[in-house]
Amino acid sequence: MVARIIPVDPFDLVIFGGTGDLARRKILPGLYRRLADGQMPAEARVIGAARSESDDDGFRALVREALDEFLPAEQRDEETIAQFLSQISYVQVDATGENGWDDLRAHMREGVIRAFYFSVAPSLFGPIAERLNARGIADETSRIVAEKPFGKDLESARELNRNLAAHFDESQIYRIDHYLGKETVQNLMAVRFGNMLFEPLWNNKYIDHIQITVAETVGVGGRGEYYDRSGAMRDMVQNHMLQLLCLIAMEPPSRFEPDSVRDEKLKVIRALDSVDPREIVRGQYSAADGQPSYRQDVGDPASKTECFVAMRVGISNWRWNGTPFYIRTGKRLKARASEIAVVFKAAPHNIFEEDHGLHSNVLSIRLQPNEGMELGVTIKEPGPGGMRLLDVPLDMSFAEALGPDAAEAPDAYERLIMDVIRGNQTLFMRGDEVEAAWAWTDPLIGGWEGRGDTPMPYDQGSAGPDDALMLMHRDGRRWREIRA
């Protein structure tokens, strides 16, 4: 199955922080792939902006190195690379000073979409937004893309929103969360709202519980200093995992348009129950087989920052009251996997005497790796000897079901950047949504900081602390196995 590619209109995209890691690793290779697929027009231009002293040729050399490093060899085509590099230029800009802004304004063209990607620290969002307006570089049709983190707590998020709102309308602000750009996440909405099979069952009457797991095999690596100031709660739960929860739990929007979708997500966040401290488990990985511990990785032998968190979350509304959502995420776990598992209730009565258990269906949505969906159903075990039941998966891997083109679907950043150019905010977070998420998160963080709680150690390559297992066992449930 070949995806239908619809080119976007010509644009000027300025990447502040254009020489940084995110630009090299994700943004620039993603734009190249959009050009190669025919979605990015030849009239589009990409302008790198940073404090580094360089010129067009120097920046193009950096971009070429990034493509060689982060693109598979089979995706690199010399003719397309040459075309891509011809559409790239560079401006040296001081984000907090006055140098370079006139040069940047001279680079901008009339009659094309102007987009500005803030791939910089949040502290620079306000100064850049102010100068874009003051120097006449941005206008009422321009768009800005803000990279997370969107603050470190409610007050800083409000301040960040105020800074952006002073210079741009909310309709121009695109707060990017790359998880929402994943193909499977969008398919979650298609499965829910495009199939009569699931939506009538999508409530507390038929669903026993829901698990959301984002497991990583890597440690904090070179992000130790940053990560120890944030932790798993701020880095993952407050944004990525809450967004996934919202898409699972939201009511059907009246139509598939930005504010209708985001209104329903906001209602979910505002309906979240506060979490009892006994329903939260925090952890840090221990040293093992020559691999450093979390505390060694961050250089603080007394750190109380969590790199693993699991919790039981409730939603107080008619659809979900009484159905728990179990969330867990962590570093140095047994496999790299992101999964949403919707566990339906077991049949109320087992009529088969030969079978001694109750069976439940599980809809598993795999975000990474091997994106796809799997529905567990109960069938008769083949062979003679009575009616013995067996749970088997109906597996839909995108690569297998839709062909090899599905396995090469655009990266999340590619899709989201093209949505910016189209002016589609559906998959981006709104300011009030960000603030509501922090309003729920802050008391949880403040609670364990006030109590002086210490994260529990856990073995590298495990499923996390033993207490996380007990979190489920107390409810007569258990976590699904973490598997790639």
Catalytic residues: 240
CB atoms within 10 A of CB 271: 17
* Alpha-carbon gap, residue 108 to 138, rounded angstroms: 9
Q: For the chain, what is the radius of gyration of the CA atoms?
A: 24
Contact 13, 115 (CB under 8 A): yes
In the numeric block, which tokens belong to residue 61? 């050399």
Widest Cα–Cα separation across the chain: 83
Q: How far is CA 213 from CA 125, 171, 284, 329, 351, in A?
A: 31, 32, 17, 6, 34
In the numeric block, which tokens belong to residue 114? 């102007």
* Alpha-carbon gap, residue 134 to 121, rounded angstroms: 21
Q: How far is CA 150 from CA 188, 189, 233, 261, 413, in A?
A: 25, 25, 13, 20, 17
Q: How far is CA 325 from CA 275, 322, 390, 448, 484, in A?
A: 11, 10, 26, 21, 22
